[in-house]
Structure formats: C-alpha cells, structure tokens
Amino acid sequence: MKFFSIAAGLLLACVSVFAHDVDGKWSGVMSTPGGDNPVNFTFKADGAKLTGTTSGPDGAEVKIADGKIDGNNISFTVSFDFQGMPLMISYKGVVSGTEIKFTLDIFGMSFDLSVKKRT
C-alpha cells in the first residue's frame, strides 16, 4: 500500500512539472490558403486543468475552453464569431521544451501549427 502511495505522489509531481512548462505566452504563425496569420496564446496550468486566452480574428481576447493537460499532451477548444458564423477550433498539442506542436480540427479539416514560448 505504501508503494502505491509513493508511486501516486511521484506521478502527481511529474504532472505538475509538465504543467509548469506550459505557463506563459506562446506565439507562432498559421499558414492558410488566405495567407499567414500570427497566433498568440497565454496559458496557465492548474494540475490537469488548462486555462488561457488567444486572439480572435478581430484581435479581441478569446478564452480557451475544456483545457486539459495529460503529461506533455494538452488539448482545448476555442469558439470564435467569424463574420456572424460560430467557428469552433479543437486543439491537440504536444509540449516539448519551449515548443508546442498542435493539430487543429476546423470543420473536420486538420491543420498543423507550431508555437514557441516567448521569453
């Protein structure tokens, strides 16, 4: 029983270490058929929960929703009002040091995005 308590404590400590790596400001460029668009995020980890913001198409701050952290994997959704239409984007990413490589799902289409931590 003691072994399992120690193992659980170490596992929680590892999750906290990974969670700290995501805190802060991240930026990158998303290439689209309409041209390159700057992308910025601010993340805050609280255990397995991820909160934060990004910028909408109009430059306004938009909160992320359903943010989760599982080891070095993160996921969340963002909902935008895009010219009167709701636009939901699902993000799944892998944190590796000062870079996050995302796969985005937009209307069933998959896009790749890489962001780097700003210092």
CATH number at residue 88: 2.40.128.120
Distance CA 30, CA 115 (A): 9
Whether residue 20 has pLDDT greater than 70: no
| Residue in the structure block whose two tokens are 């397995």 | 48
Query: How many domains is the chain partitioned into structurally?
Result: 1
Burial of 110 (0-12, 13-18, 19+ CB in 10 A): exposed
Q: What angle do CA 55, 61, 62 make, to 5 degrees?
A: 85
* Other Cβ atoms within 10 Å of 108 Cβ, number: 5
Q: What is the pLDDT of residue 57?
A: 67
Structural domain that includes position 52: 2-117
Per-residue pLDDT band for 107 (boundaries 50, 70, 90) equals confident
